[in-house]
Amino acid sequence: MFKRSIFIASFIFSASFLFAQAPKYSNEFLSIGVGARSLGMSNSNTAIVNDVTSGYWNPAGLVLVNSNIQLALMHSEYFAGIAKYDYGALSAKIDDKSAIGVSVIRFGVDDIPNTTELIDSDGNLDYNRITSFSAVDYGFLFSYSRKAKIEGLRYGANIKVIYRQVGDFGKAWGFGIDVGAQYDYKKWKFGAFGKDITSTFNAWSYNLSDKMIEAFTITGNEIPSSSTEITLPKLILAGGRNFDLGKNFNALVDLDVDLTFDGMRNVLVKSDPISIDPHLGVEFGYKDIVFLRGGVGNIQKESSMDGNKITTFQPNMGVGIKIKNNLCIDYALTDIGNASIALYSNVFSLKFNINRKEK
């Protein structure tokens, strides 16, 4: 227990410090994804998203919400329940051509034992000195969407506020902007989403006691200092199409291509400074009531036990049901980590439609 506590605390502080030095993988809790529908399709819906989750995936889609107000909720757990991921969002129509939304994301590890002051001034172990803290990341997205004068074209933007906290020891505030667009042409759908287009800056500050500084020194860890963490822009290009499969059936396909500009990543196409990560999702629908979903993503090159390079990928799946056009219940079996480890989690999400009664 003691060793595990020290490991978790050291990992969190070290991660915060390292992120402050390098932009790659910064604010990655905002890359996990929201909504079981999208997660079941391997996060492939930049071109087709048309509900309240558009505030996260592509704000241009918010104006397509078919109710006056839509609410979404999601809870999931990762790493055997150690980390909790919660999401809530609300969208509202302004008029027939515009809509707004707000999204809140929380990713945290709670009740982490703080053993940095376990030893008292006389050198004795005092378990009453053990306290606990949380390492929590918050994301707040304020979205706006509008239909353009060009038929089939929509655009939108997010103002993004980040708050990250590690107990009372460290915290950071960050700000950024996302922009997105969608365009429909017959049964084809196209989308583009620029995340952190201005770069998102997190300003870290720390408040460490003398005992904590001493513990970091003894264990050989660097002492965190006030610094700035930068999230570089990411561009997502997408295309999708709806296929009629008979009177009551249809298939909706979406291919997303993520372009990152922070150097070489272990993705399908890796180069410096641009790496390309494609992922594909499909949704089969019956009477717009029952849905079966699947997707493939996280394509990587890895070394096998015998030293050979192999290509791995992460499959995802999900189902959904719509009840009287007012309630949607979605489920996904998905993994946020390395596909070869396959630490899959069960994710459920809900969507509610609220319409004003006409007088």
Report pLDDT digits (tens) over 189-198. Answer: 999 999 999 8
Distance CA 148, CA 97 (A): 8
Q: For residues 270 and 79, which has the higher predicted lDDT (pLDDT)?
A: 270
Q: Is the pLDDT at 304 greater than 50, yes or no?
A: yes
Q: Is the pLDDT at 358 greater than 70, yes or no?
A: no
Distance CA 99, CA 11 (A): 41
> Would you call 241 exposed, middle or buried from its count of C-beta atoms within 10 A (0-12, 13-18, 19+)?
middle
Domain regions of the chain by residue span: 2-354
pLDDT score recorded for residue 285: 96
Cβ(204)–Cβ(227) below 8 Å:
yes
Q: For residues 324 and 283, which has the higher predicted lDDT (pLDDT)?
A: 283
Report pLDDT digits (tens) over 200-252. Answer: 888 888 887 776 777 677 777 777 777 888 888 999 999 999 999 988 999 99
pLDDT score recorded for residue 359: 54
Distance CA 181, CA 147 (A): 10
Distance CA 350, CA 328 (A): 6
pLDDT score recorded for residue 24: 57
Distance CA 342, CA 332 (A): 14
pLDDT score recorded for residue 207: 81
Among 18-32, 102-116, 298-312, which is the least confidently predicted range? 18-32
CA angle 45, 33, 44 (to 5 degrees): 20
Q: Is the pLDDT at 268 greater than 70, yes or no?
A: yes
Average pLDDT, the chain: 85
Cβ(316)–Cβ(292) below 8 Å:
no
Helix (H) / strand (E) element for 13: namely: helix 2-21
**pLDDT-derived band at 318, boundaries 50, 70, 90:** very high
Alpha-carbon torsion angle 31, 37, 42, 45, nearest 10: -80
Report pLDDT digits (tens) over 50-97. Answer: 999 999 999 999 999 989 999 999 998 887 778 899 999 999 999 999
Report pLDDT digits (tens) over 98-150. Answer: 999 999 999 999 888 877 677 766 677 777 777 788 899 999 999 999 999 99
Q: Is the pLDDT at 313 greater than 80, yes or no?
A: yes
b/e burial code for range 100-113 (CB count within 10 A of at least 16 → b): bbbbebbbbbeebb
Q: Is the pLDDT at 48 greater than 70, yes or no?
A: yes
- The number of beta carbons lying within 10 Å of the beta carbon of residue 284 is 17
Residue with tokens 């989308």: 191
pLDDT score recorded for residue 60: 97
**pLDDT-derived band at 340, boundaries 50, 70, 90:** very low
The two structure tokens encoding residue 263 = 């150097």
Cβ(150)–Cβ(163) below 8 Å:
no
pTM of the model: 0.83
Report pLDDT digits (tens) over 149-191. Answer: 999 999 999 999 999 998 888 899 999 999 999 999 988 999 9
> How many residues make up the chain in this entry?
359
Q: Is the pLDDT at 298 greater than 70, yes or no?
A: yes
* CATH code reported for the domain at 2-354: 2.40.160.40
Three-state SS at 34:
coil
